[in-house]
Amino acid sequence: MTRLKQKWDMFAESVSMSVTNITGNKMRTFLTTLGIIIGVAAIIALMTVVQGATDTMNAQFDAMGLGTLRVSITGTALKQGLTDAELEQLLACTHVAGVSPSLSATMTAKRGDTWSDSMLVSGNDGAFFEHNADMLSRGRAINAIDVAQESRVCLMDGDAAKTLFFGEDPVGQTLYLDGRELTVVGMIDQDENSSLFTQILLGGSNDGTLYVPYSTAKKLMKTSTVSTLEVYVTDPDETDAAVEEMEGVLDGIFNYKDDTYTIINMESMTEAMNLMTSMMTSLLVGIASIALVVGGIGIMNMMLVTVTERTTEIGLRKALGAEPGQIQMQFLIEAIILSLLGGVIGVAVGLSVSLAICVNTDIAFSLNTFAIGLGVSFSAAVGIIFGWAPARKASRLNPIDALRSM
Amino acid sequence: MSNDFFSMRGIVKQYQMGDELQTILKGIDLDIDEGEFLSVLGPSGSGKSTLMNIIGCLDTPTSGTYILHGRTIRDLSEKELARIRSREIGFIFQQFQLLPRLDAMGNVELPLIYAGVPARERRRRAEEMLVRVGLQDKLHHHRNQLSGGQQQRVAIARALATNPTILLADEPTGALDQTTGEQVMELFEALHDEGRTIVMITHDLKIARHGSRIVNILDGVLSEGVSAYD
């Protein structure tokens, strides 16, 4: 008990001495800890921003729907897509809840004197809009009846509205697609999370996107087969089983020829992406750690100067009965406090920088507690490693020599 | 012959100075009785500082035996020497050696921290010692708010705090003017009257005369009395 108490008293005494020494020379303290500040700030900022970017991307993947597979048919020279009967075959799979074929093409849209020859037209069925209900911002979605009746209706996104109906409300108005008249029944939210994927999957550079019933699109594009479809799985956990089942069906359709179709599993894409970002994070943090090592050398240098400056004090303490271990502990604590101070400031700077980056981009900011813990414990470790040698030097000072150098 | 309180027999201290082996202390025999106020008088270069370091367990002799408070000081580790300094020796330096960032109380508490005295007891004893040296109204003054004489009184209170076996003073008046120096000497005499054992190293015969006994050191050889100065 007393022994513990004595240790605590020694500790408190060492901390108080360190604080006095550290605050007594603020400029030197700042310059000494700058290396640690930069190192920790870099680690925090990198990890927070990468984490934020990953979260944002994952949110977009999730918006695409877990349990959603994308099938893209390359086909053979003779058979380039799937017929309605073959779609029925896929729908018959036990793990498949729904199949939503989609067709897309760039077409010419006209409305009065305004026209655009690079309007992306996407044909989808009712199931697609049921699974992506939050895409709709106004009006009504395309439903199963529209598909069955080949209704001449369409939805459009903000870009298309800007191109064709600048300054007007497009809902209820009509337009012409390759000479066929269509009525606009609703609007698609442009900032919807999956817009990124729409762009990746459908191609980015165009005047906007029109969504029409799948059956209407087949007519417009003069085709009877479909080459792109979304497949909804009954249970996201059964995705792999569904993929296997579908592979069986598609292999049958294409006579087991290689490279006739691709099934993109969102989940596996997410995993691949996460692996990539975590590798990137490790690399960046590794580089940032170099700054920490340089900062540690700065602290070691400062502590060596301190030991020389306080030679007399060390001698006095020894004369008053301080054991070498107690002197060593005191200087080690000072080094640790110094580098922890740098670490804490570094965390604050790192968080501010990453907050600024996140606010100015579309990356979601989230407090990365792991990064903060890593930064703080790294800086403490630097204090211990680089404070060791100076503290040892102090503890080994001969008290006679130390006292004589007054 | 044998004195368990303080006894030195044939103490030799040699230093390697370049190629040369210098003998600073050439076989010192010294006994001190409990309650004595011993002045060690010697000019600079006589070896008195080296003797003080050995008495204070800051250094160990090359040969000879030194028994302090029943314990033979020989072949001890740094840690053991530190323990002995903490318990047996109260140092008083010429330059006072107060830590500037601590107030009077904090400075007096310092050796008590190393001796493992609990905080409350530490404060009680530090205050008691400061009152003893007449600084009851300067408990929380810092070094720069104290005169030289007051600083030396704080240093004396610090040396007394652990209730050491001997007070070891190295030129305690060396940095003080004559009047203040005399006052500090009066305090030493009062402590002596209370039964404290004091060893004072000095080159000043007038100061040395305050002791109850004077030994003289010259060229590493100790002799009773002040013959070298007569």
pLDDT digits (tens, 9 = 90+) for B77-106: 888 999 999 999 999 998 889 988 889 999
The tokens for A196 are 């990124």
Task: Give the per-residue pLDDT at A406.
Answer: 45
Domain match, A363 and A328 both? yes
Same domain, A205 and A147: yes
Choose among A232, A402, A201: nearest CA to A314: A402
Is B114 within 8 Å of A325 when comparing Cβ atoms?
Answer: no
Q: Which of A75-89, B1-15, B114-128 has the lowest mean pLDDT?
A: A75-89
Whether residue A14 is found in the same domain as residue A128: no
Domain end: A239, A259, A279, which one? A259
pLDDT on residue B26: 93
Domain co-membership, A356 together with A216: no
For B34-61+78-229, the fitting CATH number among 3.40.640.10, 3.40.228.10, 3.40.50.300, 3.40.710.10 is 3.40.50.300
A180 and A323 together in one domain: no
Alpha carbon A242 to chain centroid distance?
A: 28
Mean pLDDT score, B183-208: 93
B163 Cα to chain A: minimum distance (Å) = 12
Indicate if the pLDDT at residue B227 is higher than 60: no
Q: Measure Cα distances from A230 to A85, A129, A250, A263 in Å.
A: 16, 11, 14, 10
The answer to whether position A105 is within a domain reads yes
pLDDT band, very low/low/confident/very high, at A197 (cuts 50, 70, 90): low
Per-residue tokens: B50: 């080296």
What integer is the mean pLDDT of B213-228? 84
**Do A206 and A85 share a domain, yes or no?**
yes
Quick one: pLDDT band at residue A405, thresholds 50, 70, 90?
low
Mean pLDDT to the nearest integer, A149-176: 86
Q: Rounded to a whole number, what is the largest CA-CA distance in chain A?
A: 104
Name the minimum distance, in Å, from the CA of B184 to any CA of chain A.
21
Q: Are residues A248 and A337 in the same domain?
A: no
E strands along A96-208, which residues?
Answer: 96-111, 114-124, 136-139, 153-157, 174-177, 180-188
CB contact under 8 A, A316 and B119: no
Tens digit of pLDDT for each residue in B140-165?
Answer: 999 999 999 999 999 999 999 999 99
- Four-residue CA torsion sign, A229, A233, A236, A237: negative
Q: How many domains does chain A have?
A: 2
Top-confidence residue, A194 or B9? B9
Q: Is residue A134 part of a domain?
A: yes
The answer to whether A192 touches A59, Cβ cutoff 8 Å, is: no
- Distance, CA of B46 to CA of B40 (rounded, Å): 11
**A312 to chain B: closest CA residue:** B97
Of A322, A326, A400, the CB nearest to B53: A400
Task: Inform me whether the C-beta atom of residue A401 falls under 8 Å from chain B C-beta atoms.
Answer: no
CA of A10 to nearest chain B CA: how many angstroms apart?
A: 7
Are A348 and A386 within one domain? Answer: yes
In a domain, A341, yes or no: yes
Check: CB of residue A339 under 8 Å from CB of residue A383.
yes
pLDDT digits (tens, 9 = 90+) for A355-389: 898 888 878 888 888 888 888 888 888 889 999 99
Token digits for B185? 């000497």
- C-alpha span between A152 and A171 (Å, rounded): 14
Task: Please report whether residue A133 resides in a domain.
Answer: yes
- Whether B83 sits inside 8 A of A323 (CB atoms) is yes
Model-wide pTM > 0.80: no
Under the banding of pLDDT at 50, 70 and 90, the label for residue A192 is: very low
- Examine the domain organization and report whether A142 and A200 are in the same domain: yes
Do residues A57 and A275 lie in contact, with contact meaning Cβ atoms separated by under 8 Å? no
Instruction: Mark yes or no for CB contact A317/B114 under 8 Å.
Output: yes
pLDDT: is A82 or B6 the higher one?
B6
* Domain match, A277 and A200 both: no
Q: What is the mean pLDDT of residues A333-349?
A: 91
Mean pLDDT over A196-222 rounds to 73
Which candidate from B56, B79, B119 shows the least CB-CB separation from A325? B79
Is residue B24 classed as helix, strand or coil in its secondary structure? strand
The torsion angles phi and psi of B167, rounded to 5 degrees, stand at -90, 125
The domain of A292 spans: 2-60+271-404
The verdict on residue A65 lying in a domain is no
If one compares B61 and A69, the residue with the highest pLDDT of the two is: B61
Average pLDDT score, chain A = 83
